[in-house]
Amino acid sequence: MKKLRNKIFLTIFSILSLFILIVICFVNIQNYNKEKHMIENIFMRSSKPKIIPSQNNSTDMKQPEDKSPKDIFIELDVYTVTLDEDGKYSSSIDHRSSNTDINIEKIAGEIINNHSSDKKIGNLFTNKYSYYFSGDKLIIIDNRTTNLELKLYLIYSIIMFILLEFIVSLISYLLTSWISEPVELSFEKQKQFIADASHELKTPIAVIMASAEAYSNDNNLKWINNIKSESERMNKLVTDLLDLAKSEKNDEIVKNEENISKIIEGSVLTFESLFYEKNIKLKYDIVENLKYNCNSDDIKELMSILIDNAIKHSAMKGKVIIKLYKNNKNIVLEVSNKGEAIKEEDRQKIFERFYKSDVSRNRNNNTYGLGLAIAKNIVTLHGGTIEAYSDGGFTTFKVIL
């Protein structure tokens, strides 16, 4: 289970971390491209000749002059160097400079002597200057402020990523706990189920072995009776376990449109003799000809469990009431018995496997706490719900299909 939790945690953590990393990288790349695009625009505009109105026709519509880099990109330090006939430094124009100590003549000289191409922007994280030769002009852009801004932006992004990783770790832990909780609960129930089944099988096997050994010593028929009784108990348990396994299958069950009223009525009539024998009054109210798409064998099994449960938990000279009716689009089945009320804390537990509210009584009745678990599975496979409650001295199991 620990390995499963670790795998879930690492999967969630990796996916969220990768998403954050991609977003941070994307934002930094966008920021870098924005700065690079700004420099390229300056170079592009500086290469465009200014359009001067014609002197021969003063009445012509004046053409707008192209704006200088200073007018548009005032946040950058831009220098325009005029070159002489030999391509050497002649003079410079400072469009905007926040650095008073810069020697533009020296920088221009180094670029003129060492340049390998007419335009170079370079790596904006490390290159101090970008330049562009346009005719008799050399446009120089001071990248040092851009270098610092990009580096600071990257550092802040890394710090943000680290902080977000702590948050991601917490989210991953919480999601892991939420996702693995049902799995852990199912795993614990499975272990409990195996332990309970083993315990229930252990007792009859021990009695059978002891009785067989005792019979071999004195040939008393009472030991044979013990063996027979415990064999029947063990057979009942194995049958219930097989029924439970069958009802818990996720396979699609075979359903047909059935007259559920006749199925319920037939199941009730099957138990009439038992009601008479136990001196329990039976009353049933079944609406006729209700059609339902179901598995008839499963519905019969459901009724058998609920009626058997009602008889076993009825008081002396008690009463059982069975109702089947339609409520809007739902078919409702109610099986009520007069007897001891179900405790509030047991209302959900009674549908768990091997749960017994009264261990001694259940053993005497040859039951194992599997019937209601099977009933719940049958109802669930039919897309319905089942609940139990006590009111007015009656305990009712209500099935909504």
Q: How far apart are CA 36 and CA 17, in angstroms?
A: 28
Pairing of the two strands 319-327 and 281-286: parallel
Q: Is residue 76 part of a domain?
A: yes
Position 260 confidence tier, pLDDT thresholds 50, 70, 90: very high
Per-residue model confidence (pLDDT) at position 70 = 45
- The mean pLDDT value for 324-349 works out to 87
Q: Is residue 239 part of a domain?
A: no
pLDDT digits (tens, 9 = 90+) for 187-238: 776 766 676 667 667 767 777 888 787 877 777 777 888 788 778 777 777 7
CA 230 to chain centre: 47
Instruction: Name the residue among 375, 380, 399, 228 with its Cα closest to residue 308.
Output: 375
Q: Is residue 106 part of a domain?
A: yes
End position of a domain, from candidates 101, 130, 147: 147
Provide the residue range defining the domain that includes 143: 2-47+66-147
pLDDT digits (tens, 9 = 90+) for 93-118: 766 555 556 788 888 888 888 888 88
Q: Is the pLDDT of residue 362 over 60?
A: no
Q: Where are the alpha helices (DSSP H) in 248-295?
A: 260-270, 272-277
Q: Is residue 176 part of a domain?
A: no
End position of a domain, from candidates 147, 166, 187: 147
Q: Is the pLDDT of residue 305 over 90?
A: no
What is the average pLDDT value for the chain, to the nearest integer? 81
CA 132 to chain centre: 56
Residues 142 and 262 placed together within one structural domain of the fold: no
Q: Is residue 85 part of a domain?
A: yes
Q: pLDDT over 70 for what percent of the chain?
A: 81
pLDDT digits (tens, 9 = 90+) for 18-27: 999 999 999 9
CA distances in angstroms from 205 to 216, 242, 353, listed in the order given: 17, 19, 21
- The mean pLDDT value for 331-355 works out to 83
Phi, psi of 352 (to 5 degrees): -85, 155
Per-residue model confidence (pLDDT) at position 271 = 87
Instruction: Name the residue among 94, 51, 382, 377 with its Cα closest to residue 240.
Output: 377
Q: How many CA atoms lie within 13 A of 256 on its CB side?
A: 5
Residues 6+ apart with CB under 8 A from 182: none
The tally of domains found in the chain comes to: 2
Q: Is the pLDDT of residue 50 over 60?
A: no
Per-residue model confidence (pLDDT) at position 60 = 47
Q: Is residue 276 part of a domain?
A: yes
Q: Is the pLDDT of residue 51 over 60?
A: no
Residues 138 and 272 placed together within one structural domain of the fold: no
Q: Is residue 87 part of a domain?
A: yes
Residues 142 and 259 placed together within one structural domain of the fold: no
Per-residue model confidence (pLDDT) at position 351 = 83
Q: How far apart are CA 249 and CA 315, in angstroms?
A: 35
pLDDT digits (tens, 9 = 90+) for 58-95: 444 444 444 444 444 456 788 888 888 878 887 777 66
Which residues on neighbouring strands pair with residue 59, listed in sequence order? none
Phi, psi of 290 (to 5 degrees): -85, 125
CATH code: domain of residue 357: 3.30.565.10
End position of a domain, from candidates 97, 131, 147: 147
